[in-house]
Amino acid sequence: MDVMAKTSTTTQGLRAAIERSGYYPALVAEAVEAAVGGEPMRSFLVHQETTFDQNEVRRHVTVLVLTEHRFIVSHTDEQAADNTSPTPYATTSTESVKLGRISSVVLSRVVANPEQYQPGTLPREVVLTIGWGAVSRIDLEPAACGDPNCEADHGYTGSSTADDLSLRVSEAGDGPETVRQALAFAQALSEATADITR
């Protein structure tokens, strides 16, 4: 398959996945397509999430796209009417990150009955965490020494974690095809970032 045919198939697959999500597909597709521009797509993932906020149900969709040179992330959230808008509204944002800026791609897999695991079995859920330095979390705690009677001030110790994006996809909540797509996207992104460092 040549590059143009593959790009066309990937574009059609992305549009179909956005339509299947049923979450403001025209709005989401326009934002993602504008961010991608004419660059060929290598892989994508569409993830819709429903959350419960007190007595309200809120929906949210995240679209991830991998191109030859960039990682694009799009978030769309819906909001109820408030003092800034008399009608419900949606907010869509896109971020374009050069592949060279991605510092980590973490894929956690949860499998049932690990003693019976067979290679190729679909995980029950996956968590994809991608870091590129836009958001960092610092966890600090008082430092201590091994002496239980020591009252000296040892300063602080802690860790810094890059945690720009984290998505949880489960077979029960999102379906097996979305889990497969998350695994494929994670592999494509890992390979793309490895190519940059060579």
* 3-state class (DSSP) for residue 108: strand
- Tokens encoding 151: 């009252």
CA atoms within 13 A on the CB side of 162: 11
CA dist 26 → 9, 19, 46, 180, 181 (Å): 19, 8, 14, 25, 22
The pLDDT-based confidence of 1 (bands split at 50, 70, 90) is: very low
Query: When comparing pLDDT for 16 and 53, which is higher?
Result: 16
Helix (H, G, I), strand (E, B) or coil at 195: helix
pLDDT at 9: 58
The pLDDT, as a whole number, for residue 35 is 96
* Domain locations in the chain as residue ranges: 1-99
Are the CB atoms for 71 and 64 separated by under 8 Å?
yes
Q: What is the pLDDT of residue 64?
A: 97
| pLDDT digit string, tens, across residues 47-72 | 988 777 677 777 889 999 999 999 99
Give pLDDT tens digits for 71-83: 999 999 988 888 8
Picking from 119, 97, 96, the residue whose alpha carbon sits closest to that of residue 32 is: 96
CA distance 159 to 143: 12
**42, two tokens:** 């290598």
Confirm if 32 and 14 have CB atoms less than 8 A apart.
yes
* pTM (two decimals): 0.80
Residue 137 has a pLDDT of 55
Percent of the chain as helix, strand, coil, to the nearest 5: 30, 40, 25
If one compares 120 and 161, the residue with the highest pLDDT of the two is 120
